[in-house]
Amino acid sequence: MQRTQLSLAVLAAVAALTLAGCGEEKKPEPAAAAPAPPPMVVKLGHVGPLTGGIAHLGKDNENGARLAVDEANAKGLKLDGKSVKLELVAEDDQADPKVGTTVAQKLVDAKVAGVVGHLNSGVTIPASAIYNQAGIPMISGSATNPQLTEQGFKVVFRVVGRDDQQGPAIASYLAGEVKPKTVAVIDDATAYGEGLANEVEKTLKAAGVKVLPREKGTDKTADFKAILTKIKGKKPDAVFYGGMDATGGPLLKQGRELGIKAVFAFGDGACTDKMKELAGDASEGLLCSQAGLPVQAANKKFLDAYKAKFKIDPILYAPFTYDAANLLIEAMKKVNSSDPAKYLPELAKIGYDGASGKIEFDAKGDRKDAEMTIFIMKGGKIEPIAIIKGGKTTRFEDFLKAAAPAAPVADAAKSGEPAKAGDAPKAAAEPAKAMGAAKK
């Protein structure tokens, strides 16, 4: 038995040595790398009317903000050494102040880091108080009533001009070009429409133009015939309406049907191609204003990117909401944080070259040196005809010429020909560069 056990032990030892000699020692596999942590999600809010009569304008605004967020995510964003994914939280305020405050609180509860919106002044003003209380920066790309930034809220900004700039611009253009003796003024009883109409009336009276007693509708009025019949009897040379295109179109159509031959003029809320759809042939020749440069003057990079993503052209204020979202993102990048308390001071002093030109804010949060644009409806399309800045009017064609950069000397040298003053790319390429070129 002992001999047998000894033999088996010897055989086992020999077998082990033989296997070790024929094979290689198995090395331990390296430990798998730890998966990268998911990116930190930073929420940005956008609010505008996505249902109702001006939903097309609300969606246009949202598209501008969404494009900025998507582009930032595509490039990759890091804050405080962490990868960040931006998320746009879009809400519908239905152009209603009560709904607006409700969705504003919803965004606050969702802990958004900043807000782009709202569209309407009458909604933006009450909503701004909620953002201010929460310390969340908001930038409107379209609310023009002066009261918005006169509240003294440090979190409130806008990237368009104010109605106390826009009203005098369209009124001065009317007085100087149309030269009416009598003007009828109508508003839709909203903070925007009434406020703009007040500024127009004030400027016309200062220019010596007779202004008829104010007439009022609402932002839901569909039948203006009683008001227009009353106006027709007083034979005005021009009619100004403070309101949006959803009501401005029917007003204009009904006015022409009643035989009113006056020039009809509007503010930015009714300064859209949709006026052709709503008023038909009656829209031809209408005048209107916009509190900022026209869409056509946005830089080419933005216009091409918008068209590629949404398969349509921007309508009105998308370049401004695009800039508003980018301003929030840029301020975060500068302080390396999405904390509103940290990036707000940077936002207030920022200088930024956006789709709508150079942007800086004054102490109230208003855009410095905002231009105003005058348009005319021609062939069913709203076309810019003049830029007004600092009280001086420049023809839009001249503005674009000033925007077109001269051909570089180096490029001219390559061709063997001297550079000429007229050698420049098409003015539409980057007309936003003319922000400071057409000093008025």
Sorting pLDDT into bands at 50, 70 and 90, what band is 337?
A: very high
| Run of H or E residues at 397 | helix 396-403
Three-class SS of residue 304? helix
Q: What is the mean pLDDT of residues 69-82?
A: 95
Residue with more model confidence, 255 or 416: 255
Helices (H), 191-296: 191-206, 225-232, 245-257, 274-279
For 32, 69, 72, 202, 322, the CA distances from 76, given in Å and listed in that order, are: 26, 11, 6, 50, 18
What's the pLDDT score for residue 181? 97
ω into residue 118 within 30 of 0, thus cis?
yes
pLDDT in tens, 221-236: 999 999 999 999 999 9
Residues 6+ apart with CB under 8 A from 283: 249, 252, 253, 275, 276, 377, 380
| The pLDDT of residue 321 is above 80 | yes
* Local confidence band at 331 (pLDDT 50, 70, 90 cut-offs): very high
**Model confidence band, residue 175 (pLDDT cutoffs 50, 70, 90):** very high
Average pLDDT over residues 278-299: 93
Q: What is the pLDDT of residue 297?
A: 86
pLDDT above 70 for 432: no
pLDDT at residue 405, rounded to an integer: 52
- What per-residue confidence (pLDDT) applies to 382? 92
Residue 15 has pLDDT above 60, yes or no: no
Q: CA angle, 439 as apex, 435 and 440 as ends, to 5°?
A: 125
Q: Is the pLDDT reported for residue 16 higher than 70?
A: no
**Residue 320 near residue 298, CB atoms below 8 Å:** no
Q: How confident is the model at residue 39 (pLDDT cuts 50, 70, 90)?
A: confident
Note the pLDDT of residue 261. Answer: 96
Six-digit token pair at 308? Answer: 């590629």
Q: What is the pLDDT of residue 41?
A: 96
CA atoms in the 13 A half-sphere facing the CB of 41: 9
Q: Check whether 63 has a pLDDT greater than 50.
A: yes
Q: What is the pLDDT of residues 198-211, one digit of tens each?
A: 999 999 999 999 99
Question: pLDDT at residue 263 above 50?
Answer: yes
Q: Which of 30-34, 111-115, 228-232 has the lowest mean pLDDT?
A: 30-34
* Alpha carbons 171 and 240: distance in angstroms, whole number: 9
The mean pLDDT of the chain is 86
Max Cα-Cα span within the chain:
134
pLDDT of residue 20: 45
Domains in the chain: ranges and CATH: 40-160+295-368 (3.40.50.2300), 164-290 (3.40.50.2300)
Check if the beta carbon of residue 201 is closer than 8 Å to that of residue 211: yes
pLDDT at residue 416 greater than cutoff 60 = no
pLDDT computed for residue 401 by the predictor:
81
User: Considering the chain, what percentage of its residues have pLDDT values greater than 90?
Assistant: 76
Collapsing DSSP to helix, strand or coil, 9 comes out as helix
pLDDT bin (cut points 50, 70, 90) of residue 402 is confident
Predicted TM-score of the model (pTM): 0.77
The alpha carbon torsion through 306, 309, 313, 319 (nearest 10 deg) reads: -20
What pLDDT was estimated at residue 38?
83
pLDDT of residue 326: 98
Question: Is 74 a residue whose pLDDT tops 70?
Answer: yes
Q: What is the structure's pLDDT at 404?
A: 62
pLDDT at 37: 74
pLDDT, residue 409, reads 36
Residue 27's pLDDT is: 60
Token pair of 156 as six digits = 């409130």
Q: How many CB atoms lie within 10 A of CB 39?
A: 15
pLDDT higher than threshold 60 for residue 352: yes
